[in-house]
Structure 1
């Protein structure tokens, strides 16, 4: 119960910090760097070498690709049929197609399903969401936006990214049956403990809501897809077609139900794909997702 209560507390704390005038500039960026370069590698070393690898874990990882693939198919088709601008189409594909599986996802999964849930969530994020946001999402942004990225640049960005390096290292340790040294486990435990307060404070600092923009149909198209439609697809497909059960099914649905990813919105903004809409999808989506995730948690048991 305490873990669940900490989620809105630290999110609200971050939102309130926006009102502090003497707050160091770029605080959220510093917190994000700590999360990316310290916390995510630590989580990989803490959990992944000990995960009991099962072929059914491929399905949770696949949920991220299904979500983005359907987003591209649906919004790409609607954009052509309804003659949307490339900016709107690209923004919805990227921002609605990517879930906040780490900064928001990890604290929520830990609160709801404990350490075993985090192990699965880490696989979804690192083998799914991260690779998509670092490669396929940039390709989509290049198609619908004005900027171009060389394939070599995309590949190097993935291979040189510290969380991905530690993800590959931890998976290799798992395959080779090599455990994380016991003497560093206390440090990893403390770093993992910092995930919830730091991640949600950072998210709160970045939540921006433009009340005038709430009238946008595109905003609600994106949020309906992200918070309702894709979790329903994942739940129906995994449970009734692939007969996935237990924690892998629950974590797959909850992670797919997360609000749009902040990094995805940044990619859309940097490629001039409706920046206001991209920001609004995150700003409205994160607070609203706490309500919809609670509903999904109740529905899937």
Structure 2
């Protein structure tokens, strides 16, 4: 549970640091740019180039993609009945649709399922949530950010985005079955290492519940999908429709209930899509998801699915 304690500590540290006069209001923006132009491309190149795609574990890989697709459709329909600013809509699609598998999920999967849980969790993260973030996440963020300017400007923006470039290079390396030199791997690990700490501190610096402009309605809809509808969607598809049982199916349902991915919140902030809402989705969603996950697992066990 060290990861969870570390997560909460970094959020609190960010909230404390923003009170220091020496740190300007632009400090989160500076940190975010460092993450998006250095740390995240390094992590993308490192993990995407070395991830082994095992067809036996298709469901954990598909879960984040389905969750994101469900999020997109849900908020497209919702905006026909509920008024949301386009930037808020984009933030909710992104943060509600992509679970924080690596940072929040790993310690929970290890606690509940041991080594096998970690093995499945890595695939769910690297071939699932991480790729969704690096592809559909960036495309969605760029589209909504450029929607009121040039219609197709977002495509050029995506192609120039460092993380997307790193993803394309890494995917080429993976498909050609090349191996990165050990010295390159070590360098990429060191460049990627500060990401989690800096991302959470940045999010902590952007959380302000005293802000009178907080859209509590949007926050409620976002957390409602992330913590309730997403796991229900995966439950219906994987357990009821596909009739799957066992550790993989259970982990997919729990994975869908994980709090929002901090990486996608940073990307939303970079595109200025409503950084406050993105930070609040992570800051509130992750602690709440911890309780939801154990409640969901208890219900699955109680009703005899596992």
Give the TM-score, by structure 1 length: 0.75
- The structural deviation recorded for 1:50 is 2.6
- 1:110-140 per-residue CA deviation (whole Å, 9 max, x = no partner) reads 5445775355423334532343333345546
Q: Helix, strand or coil: the match of 1:23?
A: coil
RMSD: 3.7
* Partner of residue 132, structure 2: 128
Closer, same or farther: CA 149–251 of 1 in aligned 2, 3 Å: farther
Q: Helix, strand or coil: the match of 1:223?
A: helix
Distance 2:248 2:161 in 1: 29
- The structural deviation recorded for 1:42 is 2.0
- The structural deviation recorded for 1:65 is 4.6
Distance 1:101 1:77 in 2: 15
- Residues matched between the structures, number: 287
Unaligned runs of 5+ in 2: 111-117, 299-306
* Partner of residue 104, structure 2: 108
Whether the 8 Å CA contact 1:262–1:282 is kept in 2: the answer is yes
Distance 2:290 2:97 in 1: 13
* Partner of residue 283, structure 1: 280
Distance 2:229 2:99 in 1: 22
Matched, 1:94 2:90: yes
* Partner of residue 192, structure 1: 192
- 1:18-40 per-residue CA deviation (whole Å, 9 max, x = no partner) reads 11112145222222122212222
Matches within 5 A, 1:195-214: 195-210=195-210
* Partner of residue 262, structure 1: 265
- 1:68-103 per-residue CA deviation (whole Å, 9 max, x = no partner) reads 4434433443443x4x43xx1645642222128899
* Partner of residue 151, structure 2: 150
Unaligned runs of 5+ in 1: none
Q: Helix, strand or coil: the match of 1:98?
A: helix
- The structural deviation recorded for 1:244 is 8.3
Whether the 8 Å CA contact 2:61–2:128 is kept in 1: the answer is yes
Matches within 5 A, 1:1-301: 1-55=1-55, 59-60=59-60, 62-80=62-80, 82=81, 84-85=82-83, 88=84, 90-91=86-87, 93-99=89-95, 106-113=102-109, 116=119, 117-118=121-122, 120-139=124-143, 147-151=148-152, 153-210=153-210, 216-242=216-242, 243=244, 246=247, 250=251, 253-254=254-255, 257-259=258-260, 261-262=264-265, 266=269, 279-280=276-277, 282-283=279-280, 285-296=282-293, 299-300=296-297
